[in-house]
Structure 1
Amino acid sequence: MDAAEGGVGLPETETETEASWMLLSWLASLIMVLGGSVPYLPQYQDIQRTGNTEGFSTRVCLVLLVANILRIFFWIGKQFELTLLLQSVVMILTMFTMLHLCCSVQNTNRVSTRQHRLSELDLRYFWKWSVFEDYVLFCLGFTVAVALLTMLLLDSGLFVEALGTTAVLFEAMLGLPQLLQNLTNRSTRGMSVKMVLLWTLGDVFKTAYFVMNDSPAQFWACGSGQILIDVAILLQVLLYSEDTRVKLG
């Protein structure tokens, strides 16, 4: 009788374990989809509060928009986890939200009536346009160009892998514009440290997720590169805060 009861109990235990793992898997997927946009909430709030965009590099938005548009087409060619596709859609919407805020703040604070537009085709002001619609138009044109290229070369495995590699290389450079802007300004003032800390936590989680789910190698290599850049930016926070203390002293 005891053996029979034990035999009945074993499948129930296995079912509970499977249910627990499935719940954890769903939770991890949800974090992957939405977690990438969370770091920008502190920066968004800081820009709204101060009315100043100088500490935030909008080229971060450029890097992430290009990376995630390319990743969507990579998904069409390689059909990896749906979670990563949804993550790209959420990230694109987040970057447009950040650009919309930056344009609104800059136009509100603008002293000169001179505005720079995409239609001017002036490379000096590339990605420094005054109107939000110009950013949307550029991304739409880029998307159409990549879509046409993908349609022509979708049967080429080499092209699909190159598309994925290009996407993750861009994503790996996520923090690079911010790193360079901090170097130029010799300051991290106006940059949300919370944003960078959340970048770091997110990139560590994301890289572990890629490894555990046997995602394409491009993804975990990208995550590792992002972690290194995140750490470099955090070191800048320490370095420039020390410089500030020396000057004040």
Structure 2
Amino acid sequence: MDILPEFAVQLVSWVSSGAMIFGGIVPYIPQYLDIQRKKSTEGFSTHVCLVLLIANILRILFWFGHPFEWPLLMQSILLVGAMLLLLRVCTLYPADHDLATQPRHFVDFEWSHFWRWSHYRDYLQFLASFTVTMIMLTALLMPITTYIEFLGFCALITEAMLGAPQFYHNFVKKSTAGMSIKMVCCWLSGDIFKTVYFLVKNTPPQFYICGSIQVMIDISILSQVFIYTSSQMLPKMP
């Protein structure tokens, strides 16, 4: 009689783990399709890709010093791959304000051109340089617990700021046009789910604290949709 409840618990655990692994990439599918359809990244901040790539590279390195739930590790690996694909399509169809008369390259080391380079390979060069540097630093400082915990905090606080570039982008434009609202709704539902998951699985406190910050930022971005849409409709009123 106890077999069925035990199987049900195991099934729920498998489903929640699967949702955690693959749920991270789901929000970016609508945005990817929107960019493909419009042939432009107008309205989408490519700094979202930067934040997620840095956060997940750091999180993967954190796992070697402080192993956590394996679904979270798999999620990070998949997210790195997904962000590389999204970044690829962003470089194929840049927004009008990102078009440059002169090519911009990573090896120029111009801060004003950071993450606004002309070719996909420049982004890969930066990411490779960052990853190799962090691998060497982590290998050197692995025995130091304080460093490992700080690395985990940096990874998660960076991810917690995921929506910040999009929020700022919307704020500057005073518009959310071009941004996938489906993407942000997926962010919100996913961040609520994973914050609860972190609490239930008793993960290190960095995880659920940063998850809570992400939920608040998601809600702020969705509030921008209402505020800016309402303000754009006001002149049309009699």
Band of TM-score, shorter chain: over 0.9
Q: Render the CA deviation track for 1:108-151: whole Å, top value 9, x for unaligned.
A: 99876522111111110100011111111111111111111111
Query: Which 4+ residue blocks in structure 1 deviate beyond 2 angstroms?
Result: 106-114
Give ranges in structure 1 of 5+ residues lacking alignment. Answer: 1-12
Matched, 1:132 2:89: no
- Contact 1:52 1:190 (8 Å CA) reproduced: no
Q: Which amino acid aligns with 1:198?
A: C
| 1:192-203 paired onto structure 2 within 5 Å | 192-203=180-191
Q: Which residue of 1 aligns with 2:40?
A: 52
Q: Distance in 2 between matches of 1:164 and 1:59?
A: 21
Cα offset for 1:39? 0.4
Q: Which residue of 2 aligns with 1:214?
A: 202
Give the secondary-structure state (helix, strand or coil) at the position aligned to 1:106: coil
Q: May I ask how many residue pairs the two structures share in their alignment?
A: 237
Matched, 1:102 2:102: no
Of 108-117 and 140-149, the range deviating more from structure 2? 108-117
Query: Is the radius of gyration larger for structure 1 or structure 2?
Result: 1
TM-score for both structures, normalised by structure 2: 0.96
| 1:142-221 paired onto structure 2 within 5 Å | 142-221=130-209
Cα offset for 1:248? 2.8
- Contact 1:107 1:130 (8 Å CA) reproduced: no
Q: 1:108 to 1:228 in 2, by over 3 A?
A: closer
- Contact 1:61 1:95 (8 Å CA) reproduced: yes
TM-score for both structures, normalised by structure 1: 0.92
Q: Which residue of 2 aligns with 1:9?
A: none
Paired residue for 1:31, among 19, 26, 29?
A: 19
Give ranges in structure 2 of 5+ residues lacking alignment. Answer: none
| Identical pairs, percent | 44
Q: Which amino acid aligns with 1:26?
A: W
Of 37-46 and 101-110, the range deviating more from structure 2? 101-110
Q: Which amino acid aligns with 1:59?
A: H
Q: 1:109 to 1:58 in 2, by over 3 A?
A: closer
Cα offset for 1:14? 1.2
Give the secondary-structure state (helix, strand or coil) at the position aligned to 2:117: coil
Matched, 1:21 2:6: no
Pairwise CA RMSD of aligned residues? 1.6
Q: Which amino acid aligns with 2:123?
A: Y
